[in-house]
Amino acid sequence: MSSNAVIQLVDLHKVYHTGEVDVHAVRGVSLEIQPGQFIAIMGSSGSGKSTLMNMIGCLDRPTSGEYQLDGVNVSALDRDALAEIRNAKIGFVFQGFNLLSRTSALENVEMPMLYNHRRVHSEEQRERARQSLEIVGLAERADHHPNQLSGGQQQRVAIARALVNRPSLLLADEPTGNLDTQTSIEIMGVFQKLSDQGITIVMVTHELDIARYTKRMIVLRDGKIVTNEPVRDRLNAEQELVKLRQAQAAVKLA
């Protein structure tokens, strides 16, 4: 095993025991992800993408198999150690946003810093949360509550929250699921920039167009990896944005 990999999965299984039927959501996934990698996980609904992401994100434990994160056997750690890892190393964007209701966008983004091992001063928390919101282009909505934000805006708050602790691993379950094309490309621009800075990103997506902004593509079917290959003719978000704006301008001109 080459061990400079950030993530190393060996024959990972996840079985849900629900009532009479056992659901075998992930069936033997082995995968190595190098630092700075930008991966898209694709696959039809129910193929086990979210299940796999939850395990990579140290939220859920595999039924069997081994998971090494930064050379640490995560499967052997206790709850508090996992919480510490989630806080310090991982930024997670959930498929359903999972924002705190009746809490402003800014406070939502600040929340992970409350649990940092090294205390962050409350002014610094505020400042960092604001910067995070700026990255996703939502600074002017900082005081809005989730129920005052559109789906896409909520998703961007969730991304800002995932970024606020400057994680080395960003996990995003359909981060562009609710966004229009332009915002999607903008978010991909953010991800590409983070990737250039050396952050490892794993992203679930349904859209092939979006997967083309990543460096590598994995396809899951029935809990197994069926494709794992580099992305050919990769898109650059900045260029695509320019093109899109020209196209939009053309429409208006016509």
Partner 1 sequence: MATPLAHARGSVGFQPVRIIASIRIALRALRRNKMRSLLTMLGIIIGVGAVIGSVSLTSGATKEVEDQVASLGESILIVFSGNYTSGGVRGGWGSAVTLTADDARAISRLPDVVAVSPEVRDREQVFANGLNWNTEVMGEGPDYPQIRNWQVASGSMFGDAEVRSLAKVAVVGQTVVDELFPNEDPVGQTIRIRNLPFKIVGVLVPKGFNLFGSDQDDIVLVPYTSHMHRITTRNFVNDIQVEAENNQVIDKVQNEITDLLLTRHRSPEQDFTVRNQLELMQIVTASSRAMGFLLAGVAAVSLAVGGIGIMNIMLVSVTERTREIGIRMAVGARAADILIQFLIEAVTLSVIGGAIGIVAGITFSLIVAYVKHMPDVTPIVWIVIAVVTSGFIGVVSGFYPAWKASKLDPIDALRYE
Q: List residues near ligand ATP by CB under 6 A.
A: 16, 18, 23, 25, 43, 45-51, 95
Quick one: what does residue 60 bind among ligand ATP, partner 1, Mg ion, none, with the CB cut-off 5 to 8 Å set by partner type?
Answer: partner 1
Based on CB atoms, which residue is closest to ligand ATP, 18 or 147? 18
Quick one: what does residue 99 bind among partner 1, ligand ATP, Mg ion, none, with the CB cut-off 5 to 8 Å set by partner type?
Answer: partner 1
In the complex, minimum distance from the CB of residue 71 to partner 1, in angstroms, rounded to a whole number: 7
Task: Answer yes or no whether residue 23 interacts with partner 1 by CB under 8 A.
Answer: no
Dihedral sign for Cα 138, 140, 146, 147, please.
negative
Contacts of 226-230 with CB under 8 Å at 24 or more apart are 228/31
Half-sphere exposure of 123 (CA within 13 A, CB side): 0
In the complex, minimum distance from the CB of residue 246 to ligand ATP, in angstroms, rounded to a whole number: 33
Task: Answer yes or no whether residue 85 interacts with partner 1 by CB under 8 A.
Answer: yes
In the complex, minimum distance from the CB of residue 14 to partner 1, in angstroms, rounded to a whole number: 11
Quick one: what does residue 48 bind among ligand ATP, Mg ion, partner 1, none, with the CB cut-off 5 to 8 Å set by partner type?
Answer: ligand ATP
Beta-carbon count within 10 A of 101 CB = 8
- Those residues with Cβ within 8 angstroms of residue 222's Cβ, 6 or more apart along the chain or in another chain: 27, 47, 48
Task: Answer yes or no whether residue 50 interacts with Mg ion by CB under 5 A.
Answer: yes
Half-sphere exposure of 173 (CA within 13 A, CB side): 18
Closest residue to ligand ATP: CB criterion = 50
- The residues that bridge with 26 in the sheet, in sequence order, are 14
Owner of token pair 């197994």: 224
* Subset of residues 90 to 149 that bind Mg ion, contact rule: CB under 5 A: 95
Could you give the CA distance from residue 238 to residue 175 in angstroms, rounded to a whole number? 18
Task: Answer yes or no whether residue 67 interacts with partner 1 by CB under 8 A.
Answer: no
Half-sphere exposure of 254 (CA within 13 A, CB side): 5
Cβ atoms 175, 159 nearer than 8 A: yes
* Site residues (vs partner 1, CB under 8 A): 54, 57, 59-60, 70-72, 76-77, 79-81, 83-88, 92, 94, 98-100, 102-103, 111-112, 114-117, 119, 161, 165
